[in-house]
């Protein structure tokens, strides 16, 4: 049952467009649209075939420093899968070794190779809120996303800000010095 919940949750994120970014994370300057990029959110295995769940992330170019930056997205830095899957790897890694985590994920129909699992567990620097469900520690990001997925009506998807909030991302951005940016920019 847990495997079905997790898979349905991840599938509900397929095709979501993340296209908001308040200001340049480097200099705080104004942004202009650049392009969109598909990113792998999760890889599910169904009947022996891999099904890649992708999201679309808008990229911006800063009008002042010319840096290219990504929209707010549910990915940790330097990872290639969505943060809920990384959270699941880390919380499972609290009670089992990384090869077993990879096997456990495979039993749930989620493909993450054991070396990636090892890297996610070893490089984790923060505590991930989780609870026991069916004898397995499950991160709150999965609970939150599953609640959003169950609340959608046929044909309607989950909106990007709700996914970001469910994944634990702050609603307000910070400038390079770590100070909150104002809600509205004044020109």
pLDDT digits 0-9 by tens, 172-187:
444 444 444 444 333 3
Q: 90 CB contacts (<8 Å, ≥6 apart)? A: 120, 121, 124, 128, 139
Could you count the other beta carbons within 10 Å of the beta carbon of residue 101?
24
Instruction: Quote the strand ranges of 8-150, DSSP E.
Output: 17-18, 31-46, 49-62, 68-70, 130-133, 136-139
Q: How far apart are CA 182 and CA 108, in angstroms?
A: 43
Residue 71 lies in a domain: yes
Do the domain assignments include residue 186? no
Q: Are 63 and 31 in contact (CB under 8 A)?
A: yes
User: Strand, coil or helix: what is 7?
Assistant: helix
Task: Report the relative pairing of strands 17-18 and 136-139 from DSSP bridges.
Answer: unpaired
The answer to whether residue 175 sits within a structural domain is no
Give the closest residue to 13 by CA, choosing from 48, 49, 55, 46: 55
Residue 52 lies in a domain: yes
Scan for tokens 């890297």, then name that residue.
119
Q: Identify whether 178 is part of a domain.
A: no
Considering the chain, what percentage of its residues have pLDDT values greater than 90?
64
Query: The tokens of 89 are what?
Result: 């790897």
Contact in structure between 168 and 141 (CB atoms under 8 Å)? yes
Phi/psi zone of residue 135: left (φ > 0), alpha (ψ -120 to 50 degrees), beta? left
Q: What is the pLDDT of residue 151?
A: 76
Determine the structural domain holding residue 142 and report its residue range: 2-166
pLDDT, tens digit, 9 for 90 and up, residues 132-175: 888 889 999 999 999 888 877 665 678 899 999 998 874 344 44
pLDDT of the residue at 157: 74
Whether 113 maps to a domain, the answer reads yes
pLDDT in tens, 8-34: 999 999 999 999 998 998 999 999 999
In a domain, 184, yes or no: no
**Got the DSSP string for 118-178?**
HHHHHH--S---EEEETTEEEEHHHHHHHHHHHHPPTT----HHHHHHHTT--SS-B-TTS
pLDDT tens for 73-115 read 999 888 899 999 999 999 999 999 989 999 999 999 999 999 9
| pLDDT number for residue 156 | 65
pLDDT of residue 126: 82
Number of folded domains that form the chain? 1
pTM: 0.84
């Amino acid at each position: 049952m847990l495997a079905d919940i997790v898979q349905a949750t991840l599938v509900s994120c397929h095709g979501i467009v993340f296209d908001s970014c308040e200001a340049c994370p480097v200099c705080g300057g104004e942004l202009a649209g650049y392009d969109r990029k598909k990113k792998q959110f999760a890889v599910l295995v169904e009947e022996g075939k891999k099904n890649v769940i992708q999201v679309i992330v808008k990229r911006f170019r800063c009008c002042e420093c010319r840096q290219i930056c990504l929209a707010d997205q549910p990915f940790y830095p330097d990872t290639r899968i969505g943060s809920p899957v990384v959270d699941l790897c880390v919380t499972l890694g609290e009670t089992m070794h990384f090869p077993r985590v990879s096997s456990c994920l495979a039993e749930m129909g989620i493909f993450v190779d054991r070396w990636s699992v090892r890297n996610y567990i070893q490089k984790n620097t923060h505590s991930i809120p989780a609870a026991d469900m069916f004898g397995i520690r499950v991160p709150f990001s999965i609970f939150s996303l599953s609640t959003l997925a169950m609340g959608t009506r046929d044909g309607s998807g989950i909106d990007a800000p709700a996914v970001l909030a469910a994944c634990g991302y702050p609603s307000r951005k910070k400038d390079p010095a770590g100070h909150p940016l104002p809600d509205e920019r004044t020109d």
